[in-house]
Structure 1
């Protein structure tokens, strides 16, 4: 029985629906799924609790000795996290900015650091790390001056009266001309089942697409946002050609992110 971690976000539950619900051939492998937010999954992998898991690509930098990333199942996209605020004019006047981030080791946290150092090099900051679903309310209640939104949050922040400061996906694309390597699927190197897992995951994605309504009902059970249009937007944004096979462009994107992490002291 292999412990397999995925997040409750719509792209993950859509991708792995076929495996969780035993709709595809798992080639004799048995999985015990752990469904937690990505920062929790990052932490569990640091503790070596999970055999296979979705993690932030940022976290993979610290885990690569024990885990290898798979070419399928990850989250690479042109659509990245967004930076939002309640009051754009107030933000300009602040000497110290309180920033709400969805976990220290999320890729969103790293992207925000790169953006901050380029555009706010002389401003002071304080950061608070919290579950991704708490950030919208934190900023709306002005308990944080800026927040970085991932998952469904990037599609609904305007409904809360919040304003866009920056799209970190557009920022990354301008800087690198590469897709954003938000998350990847990793497995323990010692298991030596990488190729089998990649085939199973691809078949699970194909099953979800060919049984769309069935998959959508499964996704709704876990999504923070229940609006079906938002869920569909999320799946469209993060389940794409790179999900089936990240290819050389995806590998290059991961290497570029890791290179930038190596050169930085993120939120130190």
Structure 2
């Protein structure tokens, strides 16, 4: 079975057991490792993989062919995207300083970008120039002055200080304060023609195996960790692999529904039947 997910520590940690044939009765996986911008695009194509990790923000474009699985994804608290700049401490509270500036983002259909658009409509209220970059190129671009600011995700929360950058806004903190809900980041989806109950069970079993045997996945995780230190990889996993990974639950579904409902009201995503997100 073909699957695509990122090489980030949370995804490799989650799927290690399944990838390595440790889940009874689960089919062998043919894995493609790709960043979220690529998987968001593949999910819109008829030739896309059987399962993918995509942005929750991309769901409205793919739900005809794919269903949302209630496990394996990335939601949480204190784990949202950051807006970074070269500026000093004073700029961190000055969202209006982004007006007219060039901002690098990891994908136009990423949850990070959707949160940024919702935040900017409330806080910046003026036009900006948006450029798309692979997320690992964004911090060097800010540091080198090729863009004025950048939207970063994943392990950048732990490493941006090393680039001499400053945080202008924590969009996860803004979302949590504004809604009281966790931050919906990445979703696991599967083709509707497949046995979704079994895929859910195998994914959840892989998560549970990872938690029960954390040492077994270490070499696999680090072999794909894009030069991260073991400590940063550990922090990444602890932040993004949590109770919502095993089961979205009511607050998880509530977060996804709130995000897409707000976005559709502002014309940022197509309107969908939000009740259809649940199994």
TM tier, smaller: over 0.9
Alignment of 1:117 with 2:121, yes or no, is: yes
SS in 2 for 1:124: coil
Tell me, which stretches of 5 or more residues in structure 2 are unaligned? 270-279
Name the residue aligned to 1:184. 187
Deviations 1:190-226, CA, capped at 9 Å, x for gaps? 22x1111111112111222222222121111111242
Please give the TM-score of this superposition, normalised by the length of structure 2: 0.90
Deviations 1:165-213, CA, capped at 9 Å, x for gaps? 111110111111111110110011122x111111111211122222222
CA distance in 2, matches of 1:65, 1:253: 21
CA RMSD of aligned residues (A): 1.7
Name the residue aligned to 2:229. 227
CA distance in 2, matches of 1:23, 1:38: 26
Name the residue aligned to 1:127. 130
SS in 2 for 1:64: coil
Please give the TM-score of this superposition, normalised by the length of structure 1: 0.93
Q: Which moved more, 1:256-265 or 1:72-81?
A: 256-265
Answer whether contact 1:152 1:224 (CA < 8 A) is retained: no
Q: CA deviation at 1:246?
A: 0.6
CA distance in 1, matches of 2:174, 2:113: 14
Answer whether contact 1:16 1:205 (CA < 8 A) is retained: yes
Q: CA deviation at 1:115?
A: 0.9
Name the residue aligned to 1:44. 42
Q: Which moved more, 1:151-160 or 1:238-247?
A: 151-160
Name the residue aligned to 1:80. 80
Name the residue aligned to 1:261. 263
Answer whether contact 2:69 2:187 (CA < 8 A) is retained: yes
SS in 2 for 1:182: strand
Runs of 4+ in 1 over 2 A off after TM superposition: 88-95, 264-267
Q: CA deviation at 1:97?
A: 1.0
Name the residue aligned to 2:276. none
Of the three residues 94, 101, 104, the one matched with 1:97 is 101
Q: CA deviation at 1:25?
A: 1.5
Shift in alpha-carbon separation, 1:105–1:93, aligned structure 2, 3 A? closer
CA distance in 1, matches of 2:36, 2:63: 17
Name the residue aligned to 1:144. 147
Name the residue aligned to 1:69. 68
